[in-house]
A and B are shown apart, each in its own frame.
Chain A
Amino acid sequence: MTLLSVEGLGIAFGGIKAVHDVSFRVEPGEIVSVIGPNGAGKTTLFNMISGVYRPGAGRVLLEGEDVTGMAPFRLAQRGMSRTFQNLQIFQNMTVLENAIAGFHLQERGTVLADLFNLPSSRRRARQAEAGARELLARVGLERAADREAASLSYGSLKRLEIARALAMRPRVLLLDEPAAGCNAVETEEIDHLIAEVAASGVAILLVEHDMKMVMRISNHIVVLDHGEKIAEGAPAEVSRNPAVIAAYLGTEEAADADG
């Protein structure tokens, strides 16, 4: 069964169609990228899929179950996790605490066990911490564990957000510009990380401006322009598609290129 399926999704803000009738599917282990010029509606699409906005039309199915417009915390419980273009980090916590927060759902115990600091509660806390340290090592932040999150560089915060999302052992991971603000080395690290996560069977939906990265790691690309899907397919097909070239370069140039 398809893991994530988006069917005819659309939303309008004050009469302007920000996203209109977009459909695609993501299978387990697959990396699907959504690309398009600035303002094409990529982040809006993400916000609808992840429950931040309620779609005006269409459906989002997670393993066949209709999860359209479901609150982000419920989606998290069902295995959908995401990162944000403009970072959503607990700024007043340490790096480690941020990663531990990702284990929130797995740490479930009773309030009383916690209050009396019972062995079960301590064990859960230890497991969460060990898991968090492991994930920080995976994204290369193990040495920053005790630093205040607010003191990290933008690129490091991006990786911290990915670590926190992975802590939830998601089945679907939405990454909104994970490489933005990262240097070439960091981009490559994130590149490897994403490929590795996908290889473990997680479905990844990616918005990214770094075209080299997108072409390199995507299995499938969905192209948006003015809120509508204008093309989709394998990286090689999409990069040759005249409609895509037109959207990125403008029609006249595209016509010139054709001629």
Chain B
Amino acid sequence: MSEFLQFLFSGLTVGAVYALVALGFTIIYNASDVVNFAQGEFVMLGGMITWFSHAAGLPLPLAALVAIIATAALGVAINKLAIGPARGAPVVSLIIITIGASVFLQGAAQLVFDKQIHSFPAFSGDTPLRFGGATIQPQSLWVIGGALVVFVGLWLFFTRTLLGRAVLATSNNRLAAQLVGINTNFVMTLSFALSAGIGALAGVLATPITLTAYNVGIGFALKGFAGAMLGGMGNPKGALAGGFLIGLIEALTAGYLSSTYKEAAAFVVILLVLFFMPQGLFGRRSTERV
């Protein structure tokens, strides 16, 4: 039992990070139908910029804030410089552009920072907390709490605020949104800023546990994508649930089967979802009338 609890804790911890990445996917997908594969790089940048600024002498909270803001700005820049000029291109082309952006960010991080693995201190110390024979790091609670807070914030934003509903309207029909007076370019900018900021936050929260390096982004992107697909692409509830589920599946696979298969778990899930329920757990079957 305590063994299972231990796997559960570690699954929830990584799952929270995947959930944050999946939420990032969801926001951009909702605003533009684009699956942004640079999402994982935002996580990497969050960790790397925080480490770099902290090493340069900034206190940790300030370093984290700098990382989140800088990453959000980079997200906006990617939208303006890479996605924006290709507006009107097929969605597949835009997705390939985001893969390009991902490769670029990874290379740039390698040049600007270095190729070492980095970390910074956990926020509330390293003394593990005990629960029913298993232990959990205080930092895990930060990560899980962070995912829940972001989810609730996004949920309120999309359901309650006019701006949030403008984002949903844009995703539903861009031209119609413009007709009722919504500035769809601003909606895109906002979505990229939000999505990149959330990715960076995930990186900030997770780095004391998972460590960071210039090349950790792609792993987060794929797991987060698996989470978003499992939950139903475009649905925030699905992203949250899907992210946590992928984390749990991974941890249980590692615990009960073998840690060698851990990495494969997420990909098996992607395949199963695509074969048997492409709309995911919470997704709606998409229909379009002409």
Query: A residues engaging B (CB < 8 A)?
Result: 52, 71-73, 76-77, 81-82, 84, 86, 88-93, 101-102, 104-105, 107-109, 111, 114-115, 117, 121, 150, 164-165, 167-168
Chain B residue contacts of A89, Cβ below 8 A: 173, 176
Whether, in the assembled complex, B289 has its beta carbon less than 8 Å from a beta carbon of chain A, the answer is yes
**Contact assessment for B173 and A90 in the assembled complex, using a CB-CB cutoff below 8 Å:** yes
Among A102, A114, A167, the most chain B Cβ lie within 10 Å of the Cβ of A114
Distance between B225 CB and nearest chain A CB, rounded to angstroms? 23
Query: In the complex, which of the residues A91, A105, A107, A109 contacts B172, with contact meaning CB atoms closer than 8 Å?
Result: A91
Seed contacts A72-B179, A121-B160; 20 additional CB < 8 Å A-B pairs: A73-B177, A73-B178, A73-B181, A73-B182, A76-B179, A86-B290, A88-B175, A92-B284, A93-B172, A101-B169, A101-B177, A104-B180, A104-B181, A108-B162, A111-B157, A115-B161, A117-B160, A150-B289, A164-B180, A168-B180
- Secondary structure at the B interface, as helix, strand, loop or mixed, is helix
Distance between A221 CB and nearest chain B CB, rounded to angstroms? 25
How far, in angstroms, from A86 to B173 measured CA to CA in the complex?
13
Query: Which residues in window 261-285 of B have CB below 8 A to A?
Result: 284
Q: Which 5 A-B pairs have CB atoms at the shortest separation, nearest pair first? A: A76-B181, A114-B161, A72-B178, A88-B176, A105-B181
**Contact assessment for A168 and B160 in the assembled complex, using a CB-CB cutoff below 8 Å:** no
How far, in angstroms, from A71 to B161 measured CA to CA in the complex?
24
Distance between A203 CB and nearest chain B CB, rounded to angstroms? 17
Distance between A103 CB and nearest chain B CB, rounded to angstroms? 8
Q: Using a Cβ–Cβ cut-off of 8 Å, how many residues does chain B contribute to the interface with A?
A: 26
Chain B residue contacts of A92, Cβ below 8 A: 172, 284
**Contact assessment for A101 and B180 in the assembled complex, using a CB-CB cutoff below 8 Å:** yes
How far, in angstroms, from A164 to B117 measured CA to CA in the complex?
55
Chain A residue contacts of B180, Cβ below 8 A: 76, 101-102, 104-105, 164, 167-168
Distance between A120 CB and nearest chain B CB, rounded to angstroms? 12
**Contact assessment for A114 and B173 in the assembled complex, using a CB-CB cutoff below 8 Å:** no
Whether, in the assembled complex, B63 has its beta carbon less than 8 Å from a beta carbon of chain A, the answer is no
Complex: chain B residue closest to A148, CB-CB:
B287
Distance between B178 CB and nearest chain A CB, rounded to angstroms? 4
Chain B residue contacts of A117, Cβ below 8 A: 160
Complex: chain B residue closest to A128, CB-CB:
B162
Whether, in the assembled complex, B166 has its beta carbon less than 8 Å from a beta carbon of chain A, the answer is yes
Chain A residue contacts of B181, Cβ below 8 A: 73, 76-77, 104-105, 168
Among B157, B160, B181, the most chain A Cβ lie within 10 Å of the Cβ of B181
**Contact assessment for A90 and B172 in the assembled complex, using a CB-CB cutoff below 8 Å:** yes
Chain A residue contacts of B164, Cβ below 8 A: 114
Distance between A247 CB and nearest chain B CB, rounded to angstroms? 30
Complex: chain A residue closest to B166, CB-CB:
A104
How far, in angstroms, from A82 to B175 measured CA to CA in the complex?
11
Known: A73-B181, A111-B163. A90 touches B289 (CB 8 A): no
How far, in angstroms, from A83 to B177 measured CA to CA in the complex?
12
Complex: chain A residue closest to B284, CB-CB:
A92
Whether, in the assembled complex, B62 has its beta carbon less than 8 Å from a beta carbon of chain A, the answer is no
Known: A109-B162, A115-B156, A115-B157. A91 touches B289 (CB 8 A): yes
Chain A residue contacts of B127, Cβ below 8 A: none
How far, in angstroms, from A82 to B284 measured CA to CA in the complex?
30
Chain B residue contacts of A115, Cβ below 8 A: 156-157, 160-161
**Contact assessment for B176 and A90 in the assembled complex, using a CB-CB cutoff below 8 Å:** yes
Complex: chain B residue closest to A100, CB-CB:
B165
Distance between A71 CB and nearest chain B CB, rounded to angstroms? 7
Among A77, A91, A107, the most chain B Cβ lie within 10 Å of the Cβ of A91
Whether, in the assembled complex, B93 has its beta carbon less than 8 Å from a beta carbon of chain A, the answer is no
Chain A residue contacts of B290, Cβ below 8 A: 86
How far, in angstroms, from A43 to B59 measured CA to CA in the complex?
60
Interface string of B1-24 (1 = CB under 8 A from A): 000000000000000000000000
Q: What are 7 A-B contacts with C-beta separation under 8 Å?
A: A76-B180, A76-B181, A88-B173, A92-B172, A107-B162, A111-B157, A115-B161
